[in-house]
Amino acid sequence: MTEPIFQGVATALITPFKDGKVDYDAFGKFVDWQIESGVDALVVCGTTGEGSTLTDEEHRECIKFVVEHTDGRVPVIAGTGSNDTAYAIDLSKAACEMGADALLVVTPYYNKATQAGLVETFTKIAEVSTKPIILYNVPSRTGVNIAPSTYEALMSNDKIAGIKEANGDVVSVIDTLHRIGDNMSLYSGNDDQITAIMSLGGKGVISVLSNVIPKETSEIAHAALNGDFKKSAELQIKYFDLIKALFSEVNPIPVKAACAHLGWCENSLRLPLTPMSKEKEEVLVSVMKQHGVI
């Protein structure tokens, strides 16, 4: 049985920008608020953190900053995946040396590797990692899906400890859980499926929603962890409209707008991402007001 890296909620952190550069002052305050609000872990330089448009130097600096600023208060999981396996290996080694508690490794995007290619890629990264790895499956963004049989092929690797599953297919989740047993922890990668996946045995969520309502997202996950699926489901349904608004345009466009309205950062993104359309931003703000977020 593999011990979970965390149970509950890991926030997939936004990366605040100011004048085109990472705003570390805002970043530190945002990290503090997240931890004080009760999240169980933090993910830095993931999809929500715009890791794909950070320079190599920025990527490493952000990981180092969040590790040092968090100072052991919660686990820090560093996004180190790439479509270039050699680069992912190098970045993974660096993140381990900087003190990250775990790595989040996305499937190679654009290349569209075969399942055999995925097994070899994840195995090569695991060979150099001194920390546990969470595999990140998000076929809507990468163009490739990790098959349940591939998870099964990797589950004996003691460095591969978890799965962030964002393929949206609950049947596939059931198949995966049937195959892996207690050998890996499975986390929801979709905020609209926290209760559903945790009711099947998932350990929590790697969340976009918790950037905006960390305390309430934690309540959804921890109710499920405590076996109170009725409460978890009620909260999941309560915040469905907010989740929907946060994904009304490609992530992290809406969540960056939401965090800007909350005063945590500027509404600044890296191209090719652009700020949210006025019409959809008005809907997002309206929903946030309805829930008393602003």
Catalytic residues: 136, 164
Contacts of 71 (CB under 8 A, 6+ apart): none
CA angle 149, 152, 156 (to 5 degrees): 155
The phi-psi region of residue 125 (left if phi > 0; otherwise alpha if psi is between -120 and 50; otherwise beta) is: alpha
Helix (H) or strand (E) holding 236: helix 229-238
Contacts of 271 (CB under 8 A, 6+ apart): 53
Tell me the three state secondary structure of residue 205: strand
DSSP percent split of the chain into helix, strand, coil, nearest 5: 50, 15, 35
